[in-house]
């Protein structure tokens, strides 16, 4: 992590998905009924790694567009794109919850 803001976003994002019941794959965020919602939407209850980062950024800055930009920067910082379709997104959707938490924990060391 390069900044205090990025670190706080990662800490908050990790907290959102620490419980597997609030983690998701295949979508940035889901509502309680399982349907797709924007990660910044108040009805979101489950997030993938990137969705949680976007939501944590939104909770800090209060502006969706700015949160998405900041969140994308944080996601690239913690896991540069090494896989054919994307870093932390691929880890989230292919390797699963424990692998995502491990990426967050490594970045926070």
Residue 82: its pLDDT value, please? 55
> Alpha-carbon distance 51 to 9, whole Å?
12
For residues 35 and 85, the model is more confident at 35
> Alpha-carbon distance 46 to 20, whole Å?
9
Can you tell me the mean pLDDT for 8-21?
Answer: 98
Res 17 pLDDT > 60: yes
> Alpha-carbon distance 95 to 104, whole Å?
14
Residue 83: its pLDDT value, please? 46
Can you tell me the mean pLDDT for 100-105?
Answer: 95
């Amino acid at each position: 992590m390069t900044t205090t803001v990025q670190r706080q976003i990662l800490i908050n994002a990790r907290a959102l998905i620490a419980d597997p019941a609030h983690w998701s794959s295949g979508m940035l965020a889901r509502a309680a009924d399982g349907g797709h919602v924007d990660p910044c939407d108040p009805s979101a209850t489950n997030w993938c790694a990137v969705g949680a980062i976007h939501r944590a950024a939104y909770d800090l800055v209060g502006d969706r567009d700015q949160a998405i930009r900041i969140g994308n920067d944080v996601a690239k910082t913690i896991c540069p794109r090494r896989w054919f379709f994307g870093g932390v997104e691929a880890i989230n959707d292919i390797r699963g919850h424990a692998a995502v938490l491990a990426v967050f924990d490594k970045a926070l060391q």
